[in-house]
Structure 1
Amino acid sequence: MFQNRSLPVLVRWLLPTTAGLAAWALGQVMPLVSPLLIALILGAMIVNTPAGAHRLFAGHQAVTKVMLRLGVVLLGLRLPLADILALGPRVLVVIAVVVGVTFVATSMIGDRLGIDRGMVTLIATGFSICGAAAIAAVEGGIKRRNEDVALAIAMVTLFGSAMIVLLPLASKALGLSSVQLGVWAGASIHEVAQVVAAATTGGAAAVAIATTVKLGRVALLAVAYVAARRRDGGTQVDGAKPPAVPWFVVGFLVAAAVATLRMLPGPILQGADFATTILLASAMFGLGLGMHVRSLFPVPLRVLGLAAASTAIAASVSLGLTVALF
Structure 2
Amino acid sequence: MGSLHERFSASGGSFHRVAQSLFFLMSLLCLFTGISSAIALMLGIILAVTLGNPCLEMAQKAISVLLRLSVIGLGFGMSVQQAIDASQNGFLLTVTSIVFTLVLGALTATRMGLTRHAGQLISSGTAICGGSAIAAVAPVIKASPRDISVALGVVFILNSVALIVFPPVGHWLSMTQEQFGLWSAIAIHDTSSVVGASASYGPEALAIATTVKLGRALWIIPLSLLMAVISGGNVRKISIPWFIGLFILAMLANSFIPGVEMFSDDIVEWSKRGLVLTLFLIGSTMTRDLLRSVGFMPMAYGIFLWVAIALSSLGLIMY
CA–CA separation in structure 1 for the residues paired with 2:87 and 2:182: 15
- Residue deviations 1:44-74 (CA, integer Å, cap 9, x gap): 4323xxxx7xxx55xx53x344323312421
1:215 aligns with 2:210: yes
| 1:208-267 deviation digits (Å, cap 9, x = unpaired) | 4433332133213542443564466499xxxx9983125xx2134223322333265322
Equivalent position of 2:250 in the other structure: 258
Give the Cα–Cα distance (whole angstroms) in 2 for the partners of residues 280 and 163 of structure 1.
15
Q: List, as ranges, runs of 4+ consecutive aligned residues in structure 1 with deviation greater than 6 Å.
A: 14-17
Pair 1:18 & 2:24 matched:
yes
Matching of residues 229-268 of structure 1 within 5 Å: 229-230=224-225, 233=228, 243-245=237-239, 249-262=241-254, 265-266=263-264, 267-268=266-267
1:114-133 Cα offsets, whole Å, 9 max, x none, are: 42445434543444455xxx
1:81-160 paired onto structure 2 within 5 Å? 82=80, 83-87=82-86, 89-129=88-128, 134-135=130-131, 138-139=134-135, 142=138, 143=143, 144-158=147-161
Task: Provide the rounded CA distance (Å) in 1 between the counterparts of 2:38 and 2:32.
Answer: 9
Secondary structure at the residue paired with 1:288? coil
CA distance in 2, matches of 1:97, 1:305: 20
RMSD value, Cα: 4.4
State how far apart, in whole Å, the 2-side matches of 1:284 and 1:38 are: 7
TM-score when normalising by structure 2: 0.64
Is the 1:68–1:279 Cα contact (8 Å) retained in structure 2? Answer: yes
Aligned-partner Cα distance in 2 for 1:46–1:242: 41
2:44·2:280 contact (CA, 8 Å) conserved in 1?
Answer: yes
Taking the aligned partners of 2:96 and 2:29, their CA distance within structure 1 comes to 34
Contact map agreement 1:188 1:318 (CA 8 A) in 2? no
1:68-87 correspondence to structure 2 within 5 Å: 68-74=63-69, 75-79=71-75, 80=78, 82=80, 83-87=82-86
State the distance in 2 between where 1:40 and 1:315 align: 27
Q: What's the secondary structure of 2:38's corresponding residue?
A: coil
Deviations 1:196-217 (A, max 9, x none): 66xx5xxxxxx44433332133
Q: Match for 2:304 among 304, 308, 325? A: 308
Gapped regions of structure 1 (runs ≥ 5): 1-10, 201-206
Decide whether aligned partners of structure 1 residues 271 and 242 sit closer, same or farther in structure 2, where only a CA change above 3 A counts. farther
Structure with the higher helix share, 1 or 2: 2
Normalising to structure 1: TM-score of the pair? Answer: 0.63
- Change beyond 3 A, Cα 1:244–1:19: farther
Which amino acid in structure 1 is aligned with residue 277 of structure 2?
I
Instruction: Pick one of 46, 49, 68 that aligns with 2:51.
Output: 46
Letter in 2 for 1:139: A
Q: Which runs of no fewer than 5 residues in structure 2 stay unpaired? A: 1-16
Measured in 2, the distance between the counterparts of 1:85 and 1:160 equals 26
